Chains A and B, each alone.
Chain A
């Protein structure tokens, strides 16, 4: 991380006297270290809590133990070779199988110890092996399961969120120019539609475009069977992407436009904007230099939070559209009581969030000259 702080501090300090360089560096370093420690502690506590919740006070252990017992007994009884054994021997065989299986899943240790093992593995990104789930290629590794689902999620969230973000910012900017116009009023009137989540619009879209018009598929990622030709494959994926992506976009488009528009309008009523107008600057220049520049920190924050949210996927939208992404995987993992997969997808989210929050502090300092790393103007 220290490599990243250096260019930041040098850019901040460019115009400052050399004499201050050391103290600034010390301040930034101290702040960086403190921030890193707090964020790390936050992540650790967050993940440990997730592990505790995912185990739900030993309830999951009981479920798993019962399942192991049942499977072991079934396996021994079903085996023709053990049919002639004495009952005691058979019983011993079953017990051995149970012990072996419990050892494989780590159930022979108390949860208190296991939970810290989970935590250590999680923090070192050693995501381990899933208990029940498989990746499509047949692997039990949580890392592979998550990596396999990642492209689908990124495709859906990336397409929809990027269109949504840039679309709403640009539409909002042009609406704030023509404030009070018909389109402006229409956007305000439509903004309450964003109270419904994406899956809700998804249902309507499925109904209209898949069930009634029959022009788009009900769900899934590609046609069955998948086309051999990569171009056809891509087109098929695109066709399947249209409905889920547009339900995500439609569900928050109007509120997003409304919020940005209000935000831009507040800034465009500032005195310095009036001043610039009086100077006779072109409206493009005013927009770029006097409205977008001061609102940049907010835009960047929102963009960063959006990038994080790309990771989590849309659990319910993916479920409704049978989209094989991370969100649906998490839902399936919970249904299967597969703690490693649940913790695995949480940890990635937690890390990404922490890194983004950390980086944002520095990005703010670059784009907003009023913000100073290490807080307060006291040191200068």
Chain B
């Protein structure tokens, strides 16, 4: 405990260690938050669910906070549903069978550019006679524009920009949305700021008929992280990428360094053919092409992240560091305290696990922490090659998606930069911490 406190106070003396630990702690916090807030099944549903999960989002929308840097404010997407009580809903019975439902939604529009589209999703329950809706639009300068009148089926989508009658009424073909959002009778559309209102009046012809609508504004920006080519919210992938990256990096580096150390210790202790065998396996492993084998496993066998993790550990155990550990074990094997242990009759296993390996922990910890980034990036690298886990959303997969969709050519920089910055943050955090630990545990480096 005392020793632990010493190390901690030593760590605080290195600014890089403090920054590194803060970053690592932040990432762990995000990972825990994600796992608690969005459980695995929910995450898979949100990421792989299909159109009905993310139909409300615009495509290729950069994150909303970019408005802070724009002088011309871009409209931010939103959705309001009457079923969830986000719209005003008034039901007035007219007689026994007929009643009217009025849905109102008022929103403030303070942007310098026009949204991409306005969409209404209707859901209604009726047995024979479908309800009839009229939609109207009230602009801040108190004009009321009739949008459309039609009978609604059980599930219907109405896109403002694509309605032929509305196009004719507004005397434009592809400028419906700008026309709705600007001053009356102008040749050049200018966004009119203020409070807009959407009024849907429905007449139902059956006693138990209900009608709900969802109003979606596809702006130019969306949410915390933006969306991809399938309209998926990237926030989910960024959040879920954190626990996956941490788990992969930590498990791989922990598994690799512990097993390497145990194997080196066993080999050195028993010597003879065991040692020889381990040395030969190490040499053979050096000949094997590491990345090529991982790619082969990914292509031929399984792309599951856990299989890849296992193969990674298996291939990294017999690496060059086994030789480094061996050299140090050879020295400590001859130390007096080992001889003492042997003379009082300690078993081989006891000597290896209770005397030889604990001495190496100071060397192990910095190596372990510093090797985390390389495994985090390895997972991302495989994902960039298209061999990422087929189910889970990871940072590497987001980069790969962006790349195959030509995000950089189209100027959708946010799509690549967000996961890249997170990867960089993870890499730097662990690397900085590892560097500081290395100096604390290996005093020889300290004066240099």
Contact = CB atoms under 8 A, between A and B. Distances in A.
Interface of A: 38-39, 42-43, 45-47, 49-50, 53-54, 56, 59-60, 179, 188-189, 191-197, 199-200, 203-204, 206-207, 210-212, 218, 262, 265-266, 269, 312, 315-316, 319-320, 330-331, 334-335, 337, 342, 345-346, 349-350, 353-354
B284 to A, nearest CB: 5
B284 A46 contact: yes
B199 to A, nearest CB: 44
A200 B423 contact: yes
Contacts of A218: 408-409
A90 B377 CA distance: 53
B384 A262 contact: no
A320 to B, nearest CB: 7
A207 B402 CA distance: 12
B287 A353 contact: yes
5 tightest A-B contacts by CB? A46-B287, A192-B431, A195-B373, A195-B427, A56-B300
B310 to A, nearest CB: 14
Nearest to A263: B448
A36 B428 CA distance: 43
B124 interface: no
Contacts of B301: 56, 59
23 contacts: A43-B287, A45-B284, A50-B292, A50-B293, A53-B297, A56-B301, A192-B428, A192-B432, A197-B377, A200-B424, A203-B408, A203-B420, A207-B408, A211-B409, A211-B411, A262-B448, A315-B295, A316-B381, A330-B289, A330-B295, A345-B292, A346-B292, A350-B287
A196 B427 contact: yes
Contacts of B20: 192
Interface centre among B289, B370, B432 (most CB of A within 10 A): B289
Contacts of B413: 207, 211-212
Of the four ranges (under 10, 10 to 19, 20 to 34, 35 or more), the interface on chain B belongs to: 35 or more
B288 interface: yes
A137 to B, nearest CB: 25
Contacts of B409: 211, 218
A195 B289 contact: no
A170 B333 CA distance: 39
Contacts of A334: 292, 295-296, 299
B287 A262 contact: no
Contact of B288 (A50, A193, A319): A50
Contacts of B288: 46, 49-50, 346
B291 interface: yes
B287 A60 contact: no
B413 to A, nearest CB: 6
B192 interface: no
Contacts of B296: 53-54, 56, 334, 342
Contacts of A196: 373, 377, 423-424, 427
Contacts of B189: none
